[in-house]
Amino acid sequence: MTAEYKALSNSMIMWIACLPGVAIVIYQAYLIFKKSKNDALRIGLSKDQVSASIRSAAITSIGPCLVMITAMLALMMYDGAPFAWLRTNFIGSITYELQGAQFAADGIGIELGGSQMDANFLATACIVEAGGCVGWVIFSALFSDRMEVVQEKLAGGNMAAVPIIGTGALIGVYCSLTVDRLIPFKTQAFGVFAGAIAITLLTLWDRKHPKQWVKEWGLTICMIIGMAVCTIIDIVNGVI
């Protein structure tokens, strides 16, 4: 990395340029939270139920937040802190962002993370990573409010099948997040299996001894177990 790249990628102008995007995400989250809370009270949920739901959601988000922080730290090595902060708030997929950075490096003929990374690479990476997700951003903006119609069409008019389709879609999403960790079979695969075993044991235990903390902390616990297993294996193998 050149001195020019290091100075520009973490400069004040980059922080100022990235701030509006993050501010929009925060404002959207506030609007959704406010509307959801008001609608929950409107349909008859008690304030205690709403408070419990908010607490559960906040606790459950701890695990994914740890992953997001890890992703941002990894991306900072190539895009600098401001742009990594922006991209993880917008997309949150370290796989996509690193792939975009790799495409940018390949496009201008340099090695990602190498000494040739300069201002040209930073500008190219910003364009590739931001431009590459425009398609699904536009699709979400135009068709999010019409997905119920699509879901009903897929169900063939059978409303009882709608929740089944929704559950299947959710399972598919989570499978897509784990399958690429299994093939090729490397250290991350052990993390997937460890997390799967942990959530299975927690679910079986919760069925016999229902506890609210299991529902709230289950996801975070399993993610930490998966990461811990991968870290231990890498330490044993001398990778880290």
pLDDT tens-digit map of 110-164: 887 778 888 888 888 888 888 887 887 788 778 777 777 776 776 666 767 777 7
End-to-end CA distance of the chain: 23
Asked, for residue 92, whether it belongs to a domain, the answer is yes
Question: Residue 195 sits in which domain range?
Answer: 146-236
Give the domain-ending residue among 102, 132, 162.
132
Compute the distance between CA of residue 202 and CA of residue 196 in angstroms, rounded to an integer.
Answer: 10
Asked, for residue 138, whether it belongs to a domain, the answer is no
Q: Is there a single domain that holds both residue 85 and residue 157?
A: no
Q: Give the pLDDT of residue 194.
A: 92
If you average pLDDT over residues 9-36, what whole number do you get?
89
If you average pLDDT over residues 194-220, what whole number do you get?
84
pTM of this structure: 0.62
The token duo for 206 is 């919760």
* 176 or 15, which is more confident: 15
Q: Is there a single domain that holds both residue 51 and residue 99?
A: yes
The token duo for 80 is 């600098």
Give the domain-ending residue among 103, 132, 161.
132
